[in-house]
Amino acid sequence: MRRSNYAGQEEVIDLDLIALLQQGDLRQDLILKNGDTVMIPTLTDIDATESAEIVNNNLYSADSKPIKVAIVGEVSRPGPYTLTADSKDGGFLTVTQAIQQAGGITAVADLRKIQVKRAWTNGTAEVIDVNLFALLQQGDLRQDIVLRDGDTVIIPTADQPTPTEIGELTRSTLSPSTIRVNTVGEILRPGVIEVPPNTPLSQAILAAGGFNNRANKGTVELIRLSPDGTVEKRELEVDFATGIGEENNPLLRNNDIILVRPSGLAAFADDISPIMSIFAPFTNIFQFINRLF
């Protein structure tokens, strides 16, 4: 704070409002005089704990302006977003709130290695490491840092996520409430269905009405687009009494395709049908002759 003294000279007084918030040091809450100038500098080094303290007290304005952030990587709808925090949430926007606005994480998101890239007004840049897995497992709210205008949130792909980790992610509030699965072939209601993100293969088949009477009820094919752009195709045995397991009843991911092929008898009937149609006219002639004699 700048203040002119009685001699007309300018005096600079340093104040630490963090000491006021953390220790109750009332000496930092100086009484202002006419002509005083209060200067609040820009924060240049982020501290997740102090940041949370700042936004959760009466010094912070809940009337937040919209901020523009980019969310890239393993979210349902990556891209730029202009977001405004709700006053009931303290008037600030956090990493988890931004992820939810982007449709939630995918099943292969690496929550341990999230990065927030931030550019400061002085031209410098900073990369802040965020571990949201610590938030999910240990309740470490310090990881849910407050975002600023111009931030970029990067959510990388996990190298080899285990089924247990995928299950934990899909049960969290960071995942979308539903995923889309396409059921194709010999099923009662083929097409796109929406199911919870922790739905196993057998439950999705039942959600689509189950097999029709032409289906091969023993095995189905699961077709999945991998993060690297390759297509994974697996043939799985179906047993509705089997619990969740990666071998025969895996948890599904968004945009998975379940292909139900016809049984051997149905396939044979499909193959012979064109041949039988050729002899249909002759069959009618023989029936006509039989009527004559």
pLDDT given at position 247: 85
What's the rounded Cα separation, in Å, for the pair 137 and 160? 19
Q: Which helix (H) or strand (E) holds 290?
A: helix 264-292
Pair of tokens at residue 43: 């924060």
> For residue 257, which of 193, 206, 175 has the smallest C-alpha distance?
193
Could you count the other beta carbons within 10 Å of the beta carbon of residue 241? 6
Question: What digits encode the pLDDT tens for the residues 232-277?
Answer: 999 999 988 888 888 888 889 889 999 999 986 655 555 555 555 5
Question: What digits encode the pLDDT tens for the residues 149-207?
Answer: 899 999 999 887 777 787 788 888 898 888 999 999 999 999 999 998 888 999 999 99
What's the rounded Cα separation, in Å, for the pair 176 and 254? 10
> For residue 258, which of 229, 279, 235 has the smallest C-alpha distance?
235
Domain with CATH 3.10.560.10 in the chain: 60-171, 179-262
Residue 288's pLDDT band, with cuts at 50, 70 and 90, is very low
Q: What top-level class would CATH report for the domain 60-171?
A: alpha beta
Q: What are phi and psi of 85, to 5 degrees?
A: -75, 150
Residue 116's pLDDT band, with cuts at 50, 70 and 90, is very high
DSSP 41: P
Assigned fold of 179-262: Outer membrane lipoprotein wza fold like (3.10.560)
Pair of tokens at residue 214: 């032409």
What's the rounded Cα separation, in Å, for the pair 228 and 221? 20
What's the rounded Cα separation, in Å, for the pair 103 and 198? 16
What's the rounded Cα separation, in Å, for the pair 89 and 114? 22
Contact 279, 201 (CB under 8 A): no
What's the rounded Cα separation, in Å, for the pair 290 and 292? 5
